[in-house]
Amino acid sequence: MQHDAEKMTGPVWSQKGDPRITRVGNIIRKLRIDEIPQMINVLKGEMSLVGPRPERPFFVEKLSEQIPYYKRRLKVRPGITGWAQVKHKYDETIDDVKLKVQYDLFYIENMSLRMDFKILLSTVSHMLLGKGH
């Protein structure tokens, strides 16, 4: 990201062709090495490999006002990947977020080692096929 990328606009969601991302940042994202710092959080016990993706506090407050049960996602440890990520695209609208919250709540109610393996395999598949932004 460019330095002070959201200074003028405030927090915004990522989008295809995001002007805030530098050329080097695009390469880092394509190679998925932008997730490496989150692996450190997994090792520290602050995150899990699988779980609802964490969101910035600004968006948590806004979305919890608009989406019933949004804060239930916060009751489990956040993950690098999750059911919502393998089932749906990147968030671009509030409707995307509403659908992904439903996937997250389904995951929370049905968590299992088997489901985690399924999500991890789907994530690896997405990475190898270059799906996503």
Does any domain span residue 40? no
Does any domain span residue 75? yes
Q: pLDDT (tens digit, 9 = 90+) per residue, 21-44?
A: 788 877 887 777 878 889 999 999
Does any domain span residue 41? no
- As a whole-number percent, the residues of the chain with pLDDT over 70 amount to 85
Q: Specify the pLDDT at position 133.
A: 52
Which one-letter amino acid corresponds to residue 127? M
Does any domain span residue 20? no
Q: Specify the pLDDT at position 20.
A: 73
Is 73:80 a contact under the CB 8 Å cutoff?
A: no
Question: Structural domain tally of the chain?
Answer: 1
Which residues partner with 50 through β-bridges?
A: 81
Structure tokens belonging to residue 61: 């407050």
Does any domain span residue 29? no
Residue numbers of the domain that contains 105:
48-129
Q: What is the mean pLDDT of the chain?
A: 85
Between CA 44 and CA 46 the distance in angstroms is: 6
Q: How confident is the model at residue 3 (pLDDT cuts 50, 70, 90)?
A: low
